[in-house]
Amino acid sequence: MRRILAVLASAVLTAALVALTPATAHAARGTLLINGKWYDDPHGCYNAVIWPLLVDNHTNEPVFVLNDSNCRGAILGEVRPKSARAFDHGASLYIP
């Protein structure tokens, strides 16, 4: 009887851990062109090194351009999938 209870408790604990574990993050699929440099399956924050910031989004996710480095500050705009934009004062961009 103890063995059955131990197995059941283990199964319940495993199910609870699986249910409570967040899903893993996925990079966007495709390529992102930032000021002439290509990034495959990008995700996260990218800092601009020259201005204007030129973004050509060939991914399945939107790109958000911010006015401060390290993806801080206000969002200046969005570059939707399969589109391109230029930003005079974009300092960084974020792609989920």
- What does the DSSP assignment read for 14-81? HHHHHHHSPPPP-PPSEEEEETTEEEES--EEEE--SSSEEEEEEESS-EEEEEEGGGEEEEEEEE-T
**Which range (1-5, 32-36, 37-41) has the least confidence?**
1-5
- pLDDT beyond 90 at 66: yes
Mean pLDDT of 72-91: 97
- pLDDT beyond 60 at 62: yes
The full set of domain ranges for the chain reads: 26-95
- pLDDT beyond 70 at 41: yes
Question: Rounded to two decimals, what is the model's pTM?
Answer: 0.71
Three-state DSSP at 90 gives coil
- pLDDT beyond 90 at 88: yes
26-95: what CATH class? mainly beta
Which tokens belong to 30?
């495709």
